[in-house]
């Protein structure tokens, strides 16, 4: 590791000595301060690659150092050392801009991992990747295209979050690019050379969750024929992305909270724990604060996941970006060696007026279908097969019905549209509708849609 200068701030001489020796053995040069005033004096006259500061100091607290560095040295990563079990201090420091935190007693393995991560952060003025090319949507289309104010704001927030290890909660509607945002945070940060593991929390059977997350030992249960690593072990050193985290049952929420707090996991069937170093990024289309109030989501886990919130805007909020995004999608689906068809002025206007309940994912489905069906080199409004006209006709049909029948008709229409947009993939349709797979399956049965689906297959 290249030699670098590290500022160590702690009012206990033995802690300063321990940290200093560890840093020296890593090829780094420690500069020690015993107080806030000494630390600020050193920051004023020297430059550092990292700052490590205790939270409790004789003449103040480490939070004031974090805030000073965030204001005056924004490219300098700062990590705080907190008393064991002092989660509130750690969260406050992360919110203030700290890169990461360590608990006391300090684990030297965790300290070394933190230092290595901090020194891997891209330096100011270094090579920057094209914001539209450094991450790809799951289909291969770069979804963070656009120059609208909300998209610029999201990109700036992502760049800021990439320089931290703080847990991030990404909120947004289905299809708005939450996983892509998580990948960009990972790819632009210190963990970019390690694994990014994405987990759909709503798609794992409850009885397999503990094994899938934490792994299991051979013979732990029927069918456990060999040792198996879980998601945490697979993401060790990298990022664990928990999509639809609001779908986790309460029993699993308790175990997840402990793993995040202790940075250790126990495989099913094991008698010992093993350390893991992962950054947690979670996403949901739900309002978790409301889920906390209703008792469906643990408050303590919510505060650990929602240290910093990133909101991904819906496509209807980015109407000025739709032409550019559509052009990129059309180029993607045109086929190798073939010029992509262009949108007519009327088709482009129709897309900008459409409400896009499925966001970017729906836009891609619409354009992929249009590319397959269009015969010339221009896509007309009719080629888009937008659902507004059909929806208006169906709304006229339900007028005059008694309220229960009218509500059922509206619900039925919404489910059929979501199924069509998702190409009859019920898991994807449930995500578009903002309900669980089980809830969708129940409604399909209750509304008699099951027979229609069977007839189509």
Compute the distance between CA of residue 227 and CA of residue 220 in angstroms, rounded to an integer.
9
Compute the distance between CA of residue 277 and CA of residue 275 in angstroms, rounded to an integer.
7
Question: 186-218, pLDDT tens digit by residue?
Answer: 998 999 999 999 999 988 988 899 999 999 999
Sequence-distant (≥ 6) Cβ neighbours of residue 208 within 8 angstroms: none
Average pLDDT over residues 220-230: 88
Q: Look at residues 15, 17, 14, 61 and name the one whose alpha carbon lies nearest to residue 35.
A: 61
- Cα separation values, 308 from 5, 162, 399, Å: 29, 12, 45
Q: Tokens 């500022």 — which residue?
A: 7
Highest mean predicted confidence (pLDDT) among 47-51, 352-356, 407-411: 47-51
Q: Look at residues 428, 182, 435 and name the one whose alpha carbon lies nearest to residue 305.
A: 182
Sequence-distant (≥ 6) Cβ neighbours of residue 135 within 8 angstroms: 142, 144, 180, 183, 184, 187
What count of residues does the chain have?
457
Is residue 283 a contact partner of residue 241, using CB atoms and an 8 Å limit?
yes
Structure tokens at 308: 């910093």
pLDDT over 80 at 390, yes or no: no
- Cα separation values, 129 from 159, 162, 184, 325, Å: 11, 13, 11, 19
Of residues 333 and 251, more confidence is placed in 251
Compute the distance between CA of residue 216 and CA of residue 240 in angstroms, rounded to an integer.
18
Residue 324 parent element (H or E):
helix 322-333
Radius of gyration over every alpha carbon of the chain, rounded to an integer in angstroms: 26
pTM listed for this prediction: 0.74
Average pLDDT over residues 420-432: 83
Compute the distance between CA of residue 124 and CA of residue 89 in angstroms, rounded to an integer.
28
213 burial level (CB within 10 Å; 0-12, 13-18, 19+): buried
pLDDT of the residue at 150: 93
Q: Tokens 């990439």 — which residue?
A: 162
Is residue 217 a contact partner of residue 225, using CB atoms and an 8 Å limit?
no
- Reported as a pLDDT band with limits 50, 70 and 90, residue 20 is very high
Is residue 363 a contact partner of residue 356, using CB atoms and an 8 Å limit?
yes
Compute the distance between CA of residue 128 and CA of residue 143 in angstroms, rounded to an integer.
18
Q: What is the DSSP string of 101-131?
A: EEESSPPHHHHHHHHHHHHTSPPTTS----T
Average pLDDT over residues 170-182: 90
Q: Look at residues 163, 237, 160 and name the one whose alpha carbon lies nearest to residue 196.
A: 237
Is residue 105 a contact partner of residue 78, using CB atoms and an 8 Å limit?
no
- Cα separation values, 90 from 32, 228, 283, Å: 22, 32, 21
Average confidence score pLDDT of the chain? 86
pLDDT of the residue at 140: 36
Q: What is the 3-state secondary structure (H, E, C) of 196-264?
A: EEEEEHHHCCHHHHHHHHHCECCCCCCCCCCCECCHHHHCCCCEEEEECHHHCCHHHHHHHHHHHHHCE
Q: Look at residues 73, 66, 11 and name the one whose alpha carbon lies nearest to residue 48.
A: 73
Structure tokens at 101: 């935190």
The 8-class DSSP code of residue 339 comes to: P
pLDDT of the residue at 423: 75
Positive or negative, the CA dihedral 178, 179, 184, 190 is: positive
All domains of the chain in start order, with CATH: 5-119 (3.40.50.2300), 149-311 (3.40.50.300), 315-384 (1.10.8.60), 388-456 (1.10.10.60)
pLDDT of the residue at 124: 59
Question: 142-173, pLDDT tens digit by residue?
Answer: 358 889 999 999 999 998 899 899 999 999 88
Q: What is the DSSP string of 123-167?
A: PTTS----TTTSS--TTS--TT---SHHHHHHHHHHHHHHT----
pLDDT of the residue at 451: 62
């Amino acid at each position: 590791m290249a030699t670098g200068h590290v500022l160590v701030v702690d009012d206990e001489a033995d802690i300063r000595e321990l940290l200093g020796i560890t840093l020296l053995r890593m090829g780094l040069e420690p500069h020690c301060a015993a107080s806030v005033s000494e630390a600020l004096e050193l920051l004023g006259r020297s430059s550092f690659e990292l700052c490590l500061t205790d939270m409790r100091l004789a003449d103040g607290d480490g939070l004031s150092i974090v805030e000073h560095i965030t204001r005056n040295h924004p490219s300098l990563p700062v990590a705080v050392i907190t008393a064991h079990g002092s989660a509130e201090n750690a969260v406050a420091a992360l919110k203030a801009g700290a890169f990461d935190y360590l608990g006391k007693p300090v684990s030297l393995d965790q300290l070394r991992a933190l230092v290595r991560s901090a020194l891997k952060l891209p330096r100011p003025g270094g090579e920057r990747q094209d914001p539209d090319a450094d991450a790809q949507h799951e289909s291969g289309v770069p979804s963070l295209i656009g120059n609208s104010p909300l998209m610029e704001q999201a990109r700036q927030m992502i760049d800021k979050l990439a320089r931290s290890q703080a847990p991030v909660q990404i909120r947004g509607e289905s299809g708005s690019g939450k996983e892509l945002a998580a990948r960009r945070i990972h790819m632009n940060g210190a963990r970019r050379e390690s694994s990014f593991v994405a987990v759909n929390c709503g798609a794992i059977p409850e009885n397999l969750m503990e094994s899938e997350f934490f792994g299991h030992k051979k013979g732990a249960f029927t069918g456990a024929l060999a040792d198996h690593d879980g998601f945490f072990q697979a993401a060790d050193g990298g990022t664990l992305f928990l999509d639809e985290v609001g779908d986790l049952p309460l029993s699993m929420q308790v175990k997840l909270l402990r793993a995040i707090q202790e940075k250790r996991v126990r495989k099913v069937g094991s008698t010992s724990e093993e350390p893991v170093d992962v950054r947690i990024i979670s996403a949901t289309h739900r309002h978790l604060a409301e889920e906390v109030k209703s008792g469906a989501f643990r408050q303590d886990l919510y505060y650990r996941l929602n240290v910093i919130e990133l909101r991904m805007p819906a496509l209807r909020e980015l109407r000025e970006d739709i032409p550019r995004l559509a052009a990129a999608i059309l180029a993607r689906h045109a086929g190798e060696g073939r010029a992509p068809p262009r949108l007519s002025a009327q088709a482009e206007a129709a897309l900008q007026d459409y409400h896009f309940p499925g966001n970017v994912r729906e836009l891609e489905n619409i354009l992929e279908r249009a590319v397959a069906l269009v015969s010339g080199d221009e896509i007309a409004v009719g080629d888009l097969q937008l659902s507004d006209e059909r929806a208006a006709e169906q709304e006229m049909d339900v007028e005059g019905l008694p309220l229960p029948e009218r509500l059922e008709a509206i619900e039925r229409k919404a489910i059929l549209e979501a199924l069509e947009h998702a190409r009859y993939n019920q898991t994807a349709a449930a995500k578009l509708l903002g309900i669980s797979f089980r809830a969708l399956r129940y409604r399909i049965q209750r509304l008699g849609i099951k027979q229609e689906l069977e007839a189509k297959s």
